[in-house]
Amino acid sequence: MKKSPDTKAVVLYNKEILPGYFLLGLKWKAAKAAPGQFVMLRTSGGFDPLLRRPLGIYSVINAGGKKTFGDDGIELLYKVVGKGTKILSQKVKGDGIDVLGPLGNGFTLKAEHENKKVILLSGGMGMVPLVFFAKALGSGTALFGCRSKAEVQLASGFKKNGCKLRVATEDGSAGEKGLATDLLKDEITNDSVVYACGPVAMLKATAAIAATVGAVCFVSLERAMACGIGACLGCAVKSGKHSGVYDPSGVIENREYKMVCSDGPVFDGADIDWEAF
């Protein structure tokens, strides 16, 4: 298990960019973050909520809040869904927040995939780590799915970071009517490499489409997380490529269960037992 720094961050800004969606800038010296990694935030100073909440990293910023690949802070983009995120939304400039991370293994473009067509596929808040990845890549085809026009603005970071963007909305109020995976069927070839983040149903469909055409596919999984560092075993997912024997030496390839927080959250889509979800 890797040891991660646990430090105090200070709020630079916490802006409501859309109703219920907040962009949180944190001054945080431990921010050597890579696309696809996440942090665990203690939202409350007390015991409720007791557990930290996981959030993906949207970008790395400098102390003035300007977006660069500096290492003075991070930007998070979150949707208010419950108690923890509600408390987070009330933080103001200068407040301190306890942050654990950066955690997990994120997205990388492997040398053997450099000449492939890169597709960044996201649904809803799944766009957060992929916009950060788009910034590192500077190009690619981004496919974004959401419920309606009101959420389309969330995907603007893809265009800003050099990607071609196609949008699908479930109600047809913007872009094409349907799901992000409908757009994927149009764009994918056997020479594509797909990076996906969003609801499990979307990821499962993505892995199946990629397998059908013979494309490479990496998915970022979300699980409820208590510790974020591989200690509680609460975020286990069943691997599709395992020996069936628990391997205490920690050889990842042979373990039946993998931890989303420390083995992932990014996995080869072919290495997940989707039937076990």
Ligand X SMILES: Cc1cc2nc3c(=O)[nH]c(=O)nc-3n(C[C@H](O)[C@H](O)[C@H](O)COP(=O)(O)OP(=O)(O)OC[C@H]3O[C@@H](n4cnc5c(N)ncnc54)[C@H](O)[C@@H]3O)c2cc1C
Footprint of ligand FES on this chain (CB under 6 A)? Answer: 225-228, 230-235, 259, 261
Query: Contacts with ligand X in 160-179 (CB under 6 A)?
Result: none
Residue with Cβ nearer ligand FES (27 or 258): 258
* Partner in contact with 232, chosen from ligand FES, ligand X, none, beta carbon below 5 to 8 Å by kind: ligand FES
Buried-exposed string 247-260: b where 16+ CB fall within 10 A, e elsewhere? eeeeeeeebeebbb
Q: Which is nearest to 84 in space by CA: 55, 50, 49?
A: 49
State how far the alpha carbon of 250 is from the alpha carbons of 4, 88, 241, 256, in Å. 18, 35, 15, 11
Asked if 209 contacts 180 with a C-beta cutoff of 8 angstroms, the reply is no
- Distance, in Å, from the CA atom of 23 to the CA atom of 67, rounded to the nearest integer, reads 13
- Distance, in Å, from the CA atom of 219 to the CA atom of 258, rounded to the nearest integer, reads 14
Q: How far is the CB of 205 from ligand X (least distance, A)?
A: 17
Q: How far is the CB of 57 from ligand X (least distance, A)?
A: 8
Residue with Cβ nearer ligand X (222 or 263): 222
Name the residue whose CB lies closest to ligand X: 82
- Distance, in Å, from the CA atom of 149 to the CA atom of 163, rounded to the nearest integer, reads 20
Residue with Cβ nearer ligand X (129 or 215): 129
Q: How far is the CB of 40 from ligand FES (least distance, A)?
A: 8
Residue with Cβ nearer ligand X (84 or 123): 84
Residues at the interface with ligand X (CB under 6 A): 38, 49, 53-56, 77-79, 81-85, 125, 128, 222-223, 225, 265
